[in-house]
A and B are shown apart, each in its own frame.
Chain A
Amino acid sequence: AQSVTQLGSHVSVSEGALVLLRCNYSSSVPPYLFWYVQYPNQGLQLLLKYTSAATLVKGINGFEAEFKKSETSFHLTKPSAHMSDAAEYFCAVTQRNGMRFGAGTRLTVKP
């Protein structure tokens, strides 16, 4: 079965610093991978998705992720954190019978 693991339940960065949120997947077939963001008391918003077209995927709000098959990773990055990036981030792998989500990483941005 496919699964994802997010390393670090909490990440804290200073405003303007690099954001790196880690996600590793387990899949016996080429996966479809997604990153979602959830702001407090809101639903899920799609940040970006990997669908095998390109290994470096650009998403909304300046985020991007790189698919590395050799490392089974799909880490999310942003060069410069903004206060508005504070939220919960979820990595997910999808298949026809549903998505498998990581436990989530809460990002805190310090002024």
Chain B
Amino acid sequence: DAGITQSPRYKITETGRQVTLMCHQTWSHSYMFWYRQDLGHGLRLIYYSAAADITDKGEVPDGYVVSRSKTENFPLTLESATRSQTSVYFCASSDLADSNYEQYFGPGTRLTVT
């Protein structure tokens, strides 16, 4: 299916475990982003990527790792999950040619760390 997808949609994990959230887009957009949504904070940028093998930190990168070996995929890894990382995570993508910088969002992954 065309668009941007995230998996899993729901995940429960334990403190200290590693967990990877997947993001896949079919538009060949150059830019991809990871956000977390928490009550009272809106969405905050964790990491973004301008192209394959190019990533950079956002507002709240601590505790997260990203990679981008292929244009279409942008996985987010929590190396040692903490309860404070319980959140809803959204992936987004943007076309380099889009001068408005509009971003297209995936459906989100609800992560609970126990």
Contact = CB atoms under 8 A, between A and B. Distances in A.
Interface residues of A, number: 23
Contact of A96 (B31, B42, B105, B107): B31
Interface stretch (A13-21, A43-51, A71-79): A43-51
Given A32-B101, A97-B56, A103 B42 contact: yes
- By secondary structure, the A interface counts as strand
A69 to B, nearest CB: 17
B44 interface: yes
Given A43-B106, A44-B105, A102 B42 contact: yes
Nearest to B102: A49
Nearest to B41: A103
Given A90-B42, A98-B33, A99-B45, A43 B101 contact: no
A49 B106 contact: no
B90 A98 contact: no
A34 interface: yes
Interface string A15-54: 0000000000000000010100000001110100101000
B8 interface: no
Nearest to A106: B39
A90 B88 CA distance: 15
Nearest to B56: A97
Contacts of A32: 100-102
B43 A95 contact: no
26 contacts: A32-B101, A32-B102, A42-B107, A43-B90, A43-B107, A43-B108, A44-B43, A51-B99, A51-B100, A94-B100, A95-B101, A96-B50, A96-B101, A97-B48, A97-B50, A97-B58, A98-B33, A98-B58, A99-B92, A99-B101, A99-B103, A101-B35, A101-B42, A102-B42, A103-B41, A103-B42
Given A101-B42, A103-B42, 4 more contacts: A9-B40, A94-B103, A98-B48, A100-B45
Interface of A: 6, 9, 32, 34, 42-44, 46, 49, 51, 90, 92, 94-104
